């Protein structure tokens, strides 16, 4: 029982990281109807950005909340700039191209970031600097609640609440929802879809940046291919919750994080990566719109 509670805590902590990345997928899909395969590599670049910032400012010498904030902000900045560049250079020229071409471009951008990253940062894993001290806040028998788990949860919940506010309470959010519903009608009503799409990429990438620092803090080993697997899982989470649906992404990510933790704990860790795809295939076959998604009928 105590083991189970511990796994529950770990699973929620993992799930909230997945949620931050899944939100980026779901936002871009909601507005452009495309899977941004490069999203997970934006996350990787964010981790490296934070790594180099920490090194340049000597942050590893004094861990604490302040240095966490600096790293979060710098990683968000790096990611948003990269997201903006990708949108501008690779996706915007293909705005009206067939879907297959956009998909292939997205895979190309993803591979370019991964292997360009290997050329730039080196293929060997680096150790992420210690941002905060990890200590046990609360323990009950074998169950330990560590400060990292709390930090991850608090930061990601704050980021998600911020996103919620942005989408449902601000004018920009209203414009985003308008473009997502119908870009051409939105442009007739005075919304510039290009700007809104670019803004969506910025927001999604910034969330990936937050996720990258949290992962770097919890699992302090970063390498240029780190985005591949976590990106797949975050994407599965987005599909599971209903892609394009912000709340669904969070729900799906929590389910993914918990089920993965349970599979590792009670079955075998080798099946860990196959689980995500198993869930994906099951959900696409039985409920293609996801748990919270809406069915849409294709019109001719």
**Angle made by CA atoms 284, 285, 290, in degrees to the nearest 5:** 35
Query: d(Cα 297, Cα 90) in Å, to the nearest integer?
Result: 30
Q: Minimum distance from CB of 93 to other proteins (Å)?
A: 5
CB 217 → other proteins: shortest distance, Å? 28
Q: Which residue's CB is nearer to other proteins, number 165 or number 277?
A: 277
From the CB of 133, what's the least distance to other proteins, in Å?
A: 37
Q: Is the Cβ–Cβ distance between 246 and 26 less than 8 Å?
A: yes
Burial (CB < 10 A; 0-12, 13-18, 19+), residue 122, is exposed
User: Smallest gap, in angstroms, from Cβ of residue 140 to other proteins?
Assistant: 36
CB of 291 to other proteins, least distance (A): 16
Of the pair 178, 280, the CB lying nearest other proteins is at 280
Which of 222/243 has CB closer to other proteins?
Answer: 243
224 three-state secondary structure? coil
Name the DSSP letter for residue 126.
E
Backbone angles phi, psi at 9, to 5 degrees: -60, -50
DSSP label at residue 96: T
Q: How many C-beta atoms surround the C-beta of residue 97 within 10 A?
A: 12
CB of 123 to other proteins, least distance (A): 8
Beta bridge partners of residue 127, listed in sequence order: 221
Q: Smaller CB distance to other proteins: residue 87 or 114?
A: 114
Least distance in Å: CB of 89 to other proteins?
9
Closest Cα partner for 235 from 209, 262, 204? 204
* Min separation Cβ 234 and other proteins, Å: 12
Nearer to other proteins, 135 or 286 (CB): 286
Q: Which residues of the shown chain bind other proteins in the complex (CB under 8 A)?
A: 34-35, 90, 93-94, 97-101, 103-105, 107-112, 114-116, 118-119, 123, 228, 232, 235, 239, 270-271, 273-274, 276-278, 280-281, 284-285, 288, 298, 300
**CB-based contact 60:54 (threshold 8 Å):** yes
CA 106/CA 94 separation, integer angstroms: 11
| Phi–psi pair at 125, nearest 5 degrees | -65, 145
Query: Which residues are paired to 139 by β-bridges?
Result: 144
Q: How many CB atoms lie within 10 A of CB 298?
A: 4
Q: With respect to other proteins, which residue has the nearer C-beta, 104 or 166?
A: 104
Nearer to other proteins, 110 or 205 (CB): 110
Closer to other proteins by Cβ: residue 70 or 112: 112
Strand partners, 221: 127
- Residue 237's closest CA among 47, 21, 31? 21
């Amino acid at each position: 029982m105590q083991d189970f509670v511990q796994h529950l805590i770990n699973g929620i902590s993992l799930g909230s990281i997945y949620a931050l990345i899944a939100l980026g997928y779901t936002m871009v899909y909601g507005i452009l109807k495309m899977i941004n395969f490069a999203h997970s590599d934006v996350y990787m670049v964010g981790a490296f950005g934070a790594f180099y910032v920490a090194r340049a400012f000597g942050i590893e010498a004094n861990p604490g909340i302040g240095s966490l904030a600096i790293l979060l902000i710098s990683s968000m900045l790096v990611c948003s700039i990269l997201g903006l560049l990708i949108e501008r250079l690779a996706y915007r020229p293909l705005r009206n191209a067939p879907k297959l071409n956009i998909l292939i471009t997205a895979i190309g951008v993803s591979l370019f970031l991964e292997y360009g990253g290997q050329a730039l940062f080196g293929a060997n894993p680096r150790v992420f600097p210690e941002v905060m001290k990890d200590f046990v806040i609360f323990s009950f028998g074998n169950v330990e609640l560590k400060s990292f788990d709390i930090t991850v949860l608090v930061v990601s919940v704050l980021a998600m609440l911020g996103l919620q506010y942005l989408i449902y309470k601000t004018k920009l959010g209203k414009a985003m929802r308008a473009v997502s519903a119908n870009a051409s009608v939105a442009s007739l009503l005075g919304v510039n879809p290009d700007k809104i799409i670019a803004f969506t990429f910025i927001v999604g990438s910034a969330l990936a940046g937050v996720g990258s620092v949290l992962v770097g803090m919890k699992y302090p080993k970063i390498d240029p291919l780190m985005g591949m697997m976590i990106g797949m899982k975050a994407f599965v989470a987005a599909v599971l919750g209903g892609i394009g649906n912000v709340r669904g992404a969070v729900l799906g990510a929590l389910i993914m994080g918990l089920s993965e933790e349970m599979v590792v704990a009670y079955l075998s860790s080798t099946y860990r990566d196959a689980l995500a795809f198993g869930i994906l295939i099951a959900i696409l076959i039985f409920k293609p719109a996801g748990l919270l998604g809406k069915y849409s009928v294709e019109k001719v």
